[in-house]
Amino acid sequence: MSRLGTVLALIGIGLTFSACGYNTIPTLQEQAKARWSDVQNQYQRRADLIPNLVATVQGYAAQEKNVLTAVVEARAKATQITVNASDLTDPEKLKAFQDAQAQLTGALGRLLAVSENYPDLKSNANFLALQSQLEGTENRIAVARRDYIDAVRSYNTALRTFPTVIWAKTAFSGEKPMAEFTASEGSEKPPTVKF
């Protein structure tokens, strides 16, 4: 075999292996893990904002102690439940995390509704800034969750489709599908707005 034939054979083998899908599974898995880190980062940002929001509201709405206590307790519970990248294949752990975050979201909604009863609080610059940051964070959480869901969908699809299913059944046989976020119970109902 000539040098040219050897070079062409090596190029052909390289192209064959680069198109075989072997790297697809670990690449998609790492992308999904990175997206999960984004989700956790946004939830942590929200948890960090809450003490400032609670302190601001406390100054104006001391009699709303029940709501403030519920927010603080929900935040504590939400920050205690952690899901790291190795837990992403366990739907029960992800559901527990999601439930704790949903409970915190509900408590924050009640806290923001309290502001309707306190005109001075509603016009307070600190409260407005914190409320704006919190709303922005909720939007970032939604985007991070959407990106995670897309990454998990791509990864889970790669585990079941040709040609990557060959690698999933052989070289990556220990890899399980990752859990996705699901809608919280009752989220299909629109919120009630009262004036």
Q: Count CB atoms within 10 A of the CB of residue 75.
A: 22
Across the range 90-111, mean pLDDT stands at 91
Which of 70 and 116 is assigned the larger pLDDT? 70
Q: How far apart are the first and last CA of the chain?
A: 85
- Tell whether the model's pLDDT for residue 51 goes beyond 70: yes
> What is the phi/psi pair of residue 91, to 5°?
-60, -30
Q: What is the pTM of this model?
A: 0.77
Across the range 12-19, mean pLDDT stands at 64
What does the DSSP 8-state code read for residue 98? H
Domains annotated for the chain, with CATH where assigned, are 23-169 (1.20.1440.20)
Which of 118 and 74 is assigned the larger pLDDT? 74
Q: What is the pLDDT of residue 195?
A: 31
